[in-house]
Amino acid sequence: MKPILLFLLVVMIAVSCKKDKALEHEIAKLKSDVQIERFDRLFAQVTANKLPDIKRAYPFMFSEKYPDSFWLAKTKDTLQIQLFNEVDKVFANIEDTEIEIESLFNHIKYYFPEFSPPRIITTTNDVDHRNRIIVTDTITVIALDSYLGSTHEFYGGIANFLKANLNKAQIVVDLANEYAKKYTYHPERKTLLDEMIYFGKLLYFKDVMVPFKTEAERIGYTEAQLNWAITNESYIWRFLVSRELLFSTDSKLPRRFINPAPFSKFYLEGVDADSPGRLGQYIGWQIVRAYMEQNDASLKDMLIKNTEDIFNNSKFKPRK
């Protein structure tokens, strides 16, 4: 009996892989044709004569409250020049990022046919890593100085858990996350479970839109952190359930299990220090995945479902 079951499992996996490849082939045909506009380079080389032209081409990049003299002085600032040079080193060639963004846009277009790819414009923003990508309907701005690599000297004053993902490979993941927020509807988030399901939706969106990225990259973990979460999934779930935290409205819970942090806060010696942060997001991700496996729901439908619908119909069981 066991060899027969194993054979059937192999066949199922093979069929599933074949379907996935066929789907990816169809998506690739959409050809979003992304062309990244290097405003960062244009601005670094601007002169008094060229400034009016660049302002006409990119009016949204220049605040009207500053005169031309301000922008010209900025290009001559020593720190700004160093910033431009470092960005130019890391992003001498941006073609790989362009290809990844094109794949992301192809996927969004497949699931949301009304989607129209925006202009992609790169800039620098004085390492304001909390606002490294801005997305509108027609324009997306990416601050490349927030993706120079986690060990870069510019990030010396940033906490390790925050700078861990300030690298080139995360650009398309962060961009996918911004689009996930645009397409995800969730009512007011009152309970810990509300927060978990909301972030689970964002992570599932990335499963679908950037399948070429690893699971660790999609959630922003190292492989070791992801393995810790997988290994301890059952323990995490039991902890949340046994302490009746899922439906709690305690405002401290997001800081313990949802928000970016060096570790999750179980307040247990020997557990906290080893754990990655945002484990509530991780469990929410697994709940949403379970819901999609158990139900004949489209991505669009799932993204607008409320917490109760997803949780009650997920039949979620943690890995042991």
DSSP labels, the chain: -HHHHHHHHHHHHHHHHHHHHHHHHHHHTT-----EE-HHHHHHT--TTTHHHHHHH-GGGS-TTS-HHHHHHHHH-HHHHHHHHHHHHHTS--HHHHHHHHHHHHHHHHH-TT--PPEEEEE--TT-GGGSEEE-SSEEEEEGGG-S-TT-GGGTTS-HHHHTT-SGGGHHHHHHHHHHHHH-------SHHHHHHHHHHHHHHHHHH-TTS-HHHHHT--HHHHHHHHHTHHHHHHHHHHTT-TT---TTHHHHHTS--SS-----TTTGGGSPS-HHHHHHHHHHHHHHHHS---HHHHHH--HHHHHHTT------
DSSP string for residues in 61-77: GS-TTS-HHHHHHHHH-
CA proximity to 33, closest of 99, 115, 93, 94: 99
- pLDDT value for 280: 98
User: 143 forms bridges with which residues in the sheet?
Assistant: 123
Tell me how far apart the alpha carbons of residues 194 and 200 are, in angstroms, rounded to a whole number. 10
pLDDT of the residue at 29: 82
Integer-rounded Cα Rg, in Å, for the chain is 22
- Give the largest Cα separation in the chain, rounded: 80
Please state the domain extents for the chain: 36-183, 192-312
pTM over 0.75: yes
Walking along the chain (320 residues) 10 residues at a time, the average pLDDT comes out as 41 52 84 91 95 96 94 93 96 95 96 96 95 96 98 95 96 98 90 98 98 97 97 96 97 97 93 96 98 96 96 93
Phi-psi region of 265 (alpha: psi -120 to 50; beta: other; left: phi over 0): beta
What is the C-alpha end-to-end distance of the chain, expressed in Å? 24
Q: Provide the b/e sequence for 97-130 (b: ≥16 CB within 10 Å).
A: bbebbbbbbbbbbbbeeebebeebbbbbbebebe
- pLDDT, residue 12, reads 39
CA distance 313 to 291: 6
